[in-house]
């Protein structure tokens, strides 16, 4: 793909809050943008919440600069969220799904349990080490599961440049599904 390897894995990218939206439709510049479903943590009124989202990325620009490519598109998240305390005990059971529409055809793109990802407790520790404390307004996109699209080192990732993007998170434990259309 020609994407420069990050210096640290996992990698954190700082983005401006003007790039965050709960809109059902976004505009992108260029025809080589894509997103991936991921869980999102955010701090509001002293409480941590979890929802689903996607950090759309300009894949052409990503070949030159990952941080710049992530600043070219809006980061979409659902308008609904769970208080993290309510799902913490069964967080690994949450399922992330993504279907895309390419050339008028709906295709499954990602499906995985969040257990395949680094969990919120890991990231809370990392963020507290780097930031000191979690302040209201903090929004964190976890990033996709590598195995959700069969990716592993040495095997190219397959991105779909789509006209429609549907993401969702669900849990059978509390019988709720967030599925904002994107």
pLDDT at 156: 40
**What are the pLDDT digits (tens) for 95-133?**
888 777 777 888 887 888 888 888 999 999 988 988 888
Q: Is 68 inside a domain boundary?
A: yes
Average pLDDT over residues 84-94: 89
Q: Is 87 inside a domain boundary?
A: yes
Q: Is 56 inside a domain boundary?
A: yes
Average pLDDT over residues 64-71: 84
Q: Is 58 inside a domain boundary?
A: yes
Q: Is 23 inside a domain boundary?
A: no
Work out the pLDDT band at 145, boundaries 50, 70, 90: low
Q: Is 125 inside a domain boundary?
A: yes
Q: Are 147 and 45 in contact (CB under 8 A)?
A: no
pTM for the structure as a whole: 0.79
DSSP code of residue 181: B
Q: Is 13 inside a domain boundary?
A: no
Work out the pLDDT band at 41, boundaries 50, 70, 90: very high
CA–CA distance, 83 with 86 (Å, rounded to integer): 6
pLDDT at 177: 42
**Total structural domains within the chain:** 1
- The CATH number assigned to the domain holding 36 equals 3.90.850.10
Domain that holds residue 170: 31-178
Q: Is 134 inside a domain boundary?
A: yes
DSSP code of residue 6: P
């Amino acid at each position: 793909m020609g994407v420069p390897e990050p210096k640290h894995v996992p990698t954190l990218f700082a983005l401006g809050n003007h790039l965050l939206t709960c809109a059902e439709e976004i505009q992108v510049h260029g025809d080589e943008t894509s997103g991936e479903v991921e869980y999102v943590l955010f701090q509001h009124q002293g409480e941590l919440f979890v929802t689903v989202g996607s950090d759309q990325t300009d894949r052409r620009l990503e070949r030159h600069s990952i941080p710049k490519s992530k600043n070219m598109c809006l980061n979409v998240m659902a308008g609904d969220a769970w208080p993290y305390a309510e799902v913490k005990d069964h967080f690994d059971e949450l399922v992330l799904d993504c279907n895309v529409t390419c050339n008028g055809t709906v295709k499954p793109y990602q499906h995985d349990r969040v257990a395949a990802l680094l969990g919120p407790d890991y990231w809370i520790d990392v963020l507290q080490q780097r930031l000191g404390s979690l302040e209201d307004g903090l929004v964190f996109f976890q990033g996709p599961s590598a195995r959700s699209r069969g990716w592993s080192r040495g095997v190219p990732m397959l991105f779909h440049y789509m006209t429609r993007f549907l993401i969702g998170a669900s849990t059978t434990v509390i019988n709720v599904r967030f599925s904002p259309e994107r």
